[in-house]
């Protein structure tokens, strides 16, 4: 058969990726309009913005500029997820290495007071590449184990970067060098507050959630009370606990001897515990209410008692929902624990509020960055565990 004269073969066109257009605009704006690094004569004075071409040696600046130009072009084109994922990771790695080079390049010889900090352009560029990688990971729909493997790779890469000394001339690492003992001490306190309050809340909240599941009247009362607690701002709740705990410690010297007082770790731990109860109790109730009736009917047909059904059938099926509540509580507590520094509770918030008081933003970052990192890692790990324990996941395996 011959092809008709009026029939035309379909033309293959290169499509534009909608999110890629946004990412390309962000990359271009950050590259051309925002400073890549800030040079400060000391830790207090405002920084002098430096572009990529003035913050890096010429050869490094040229390579990075070419890479950014190619990235902008590649982001626009609609491609499969894996090339975009590689582009995102390579972009982040290149920027992280480049800012380390900028720290060494901009620091005057023998000057221990100068501070080199990543500029707004650096953070926006990293965010754009991270958004590109996150979108690709979402499109790939990776299972929990590949996600955990990628997280482990990222953590190992960050540790290798810090160990290599590539970032030693950056201001945040200089702040760490002068406070490394305090950093690890406050880090231990931060983890104690976040994880300790979570453990105590699980011990109390899950059984309380089971009781609320059994009694609708109790459920209404408990959830209303916990909702009221949740509406109190964190700093206000910390303040409200100072007076009663201080009075309790004064009336009972034994409590004061073990560290209970109006300020410090005790009110911070109690406040975080109270904030943790609502997600745990509510998710326990929702998880148990969501157990299929068929499963309960089958268990009763086998002659199981209420207690046996709870342990063998209801709690295992409700566990993914309960674990989701634990994830919410942990991420929430890691963030709120920062406020504990205001009442002497310690944690990474010590550096945040010291930095605010001294107008030293690098010191603020020394407390904020590990807090964000700890919350992110915890969320990814628990998200993977939720997926592993869900019935759908078990069925696919």
pLDDT for 83-121, tens place per residue? 999 999 999 999 999 999 999 999 998 888 889 999 999
Please determine, for residue 11, whether its predicted confidence score (pLDDT) is greater than 70.
no
pLDDT at residue 10 is higher than 90: no
C-beta separation of 367 from 350 below 8 A: yes
- State the average pLDDT over residues 242-251: 81
77 beta partners: 16
The answer, yes or no, to whether residue 137 has pLDDT greater than 70, is yes
CA 194 – CA 333 distance, rounded (Å): 5
Q: What percent of the chain has pLDDT over 70?
A: 93
Residue pLDDT, tens place only, 264-275: 888 899 999 999
d(CA 320, CA 385): 8
Taking the C-alpha atoms of residue 267 and residue 249, their distance in angstroms, rounded to an integer, is 12
User: In this structure, is the dihedral angle defined by the CA atoms of residues 340, 346, 351 and 355, taken in order, positive or negative?
Assistant: positive
pTM of the model: 0.88
pLDDT confidence bin for 307, thresholds 50/70/90:
confident
Q: What's the confidence (pLDDT) of residue 204?
A: 97
Low-confidence winner among 14-18, 30-34, 143-147, 382-386 (lowest mean pLDDT): 14-18
Query: Quick one: which H or E segment has residue 116?
Result: strand 115-118
pLDDT tens digit sequence for 324-346: 999 999 999 999 999 999 888 89
Over the stretch 367-389, which tens digit does the pLDDT of each residue have? 999 999 999 999 999 999 999 98
Burial class (CB in 10 A: 0-12, 13-18, 19+), 347: buried
Q: Walk me through the domains of the chain, giving residue ranges and CATH numbers.
A: 18-141 (no CATH), 176-396 (1.10.3720.10)
Could you tell me which of 320, 314, 322 has the C-alpha nearest to residue 283? 322
């Amino acid at each position: 058969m011959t092809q008709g004269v009026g029939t035309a073969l379909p033309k293959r066109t290169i499509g534009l990726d909608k999110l890629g257009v946004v990412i390309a605009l962000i990359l271009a704006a950050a590259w051309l309009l925002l400073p890549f690094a800030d040079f400060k004569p000391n830790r207090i004075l405002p920084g002098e913005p430096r572009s990529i071409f003035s913050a890096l040696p010429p050869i490094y600046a040229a390579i990075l500029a070419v890479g950014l130009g190619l990235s902008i072009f590649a982001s626009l084109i609609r491609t499969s997820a894996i090339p975009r994922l590689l582009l995102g990771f390579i972009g982040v790695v290149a920027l992280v290495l480049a800012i380390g080079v900028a720290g060494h390049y901009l620091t005057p010889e023998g000057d221990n007071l100068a501070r080199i900090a990543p500029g707004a352009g650096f953070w926006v560029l990293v965010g754009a590449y991270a958004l590109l990688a996150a979108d690709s990971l979402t499109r790939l729909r990776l299972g929990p184990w590949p996600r955990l493997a990628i997280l482990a790779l990222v953590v190992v890469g960050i540790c290798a970067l810090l160990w290599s000394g590539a970032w030693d001339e950056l201001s945040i690492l200089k702040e760490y060098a002068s406070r490394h003992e305090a950093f690890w001490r406050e880090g231990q306190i931060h983890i104690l507050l976040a994880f300790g309050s979570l453990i105590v809340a699980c011990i109390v909240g899950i059984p309380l959630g089971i009781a609320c599941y059994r009694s609708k009247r109790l459920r209404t009362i408990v959830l209303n009370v916990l909702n009221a607690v949740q509406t109190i701002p964190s700093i206000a709740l910390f303040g409200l606990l100072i007076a009663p705990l201080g009075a309790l410690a004064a009336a009972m010297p034994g409590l004061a001897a073990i560290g209970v007082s109006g300020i410090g770790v005790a009110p911070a731990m109690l406040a975080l515990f109270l904030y943790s109860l609502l997600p745990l109790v509510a998710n326990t109730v929702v998880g148990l209410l969501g157990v299929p009736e068929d499963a309960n009917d089958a268990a009763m047909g086998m002659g199981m008692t209420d207690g046996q059904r709870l342990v063998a059938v209801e709690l295992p099926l409700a566990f993914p929902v309960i674990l989701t509540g634990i994830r919410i509580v942990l991420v929430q507590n890691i963030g709120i624990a920062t406020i504990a520094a205001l009442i002497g509770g310690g944690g990474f918030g010590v550096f945040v509020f010291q930095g605010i008081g001294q107008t030293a933003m690098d010191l603020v970052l020394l407390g904020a960055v590990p807090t964000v990192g700890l919350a992110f890692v915890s969320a990814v790990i628990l998200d993977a565990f939720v997926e592993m324990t869900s019935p759908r996941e078990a069925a696919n395996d």
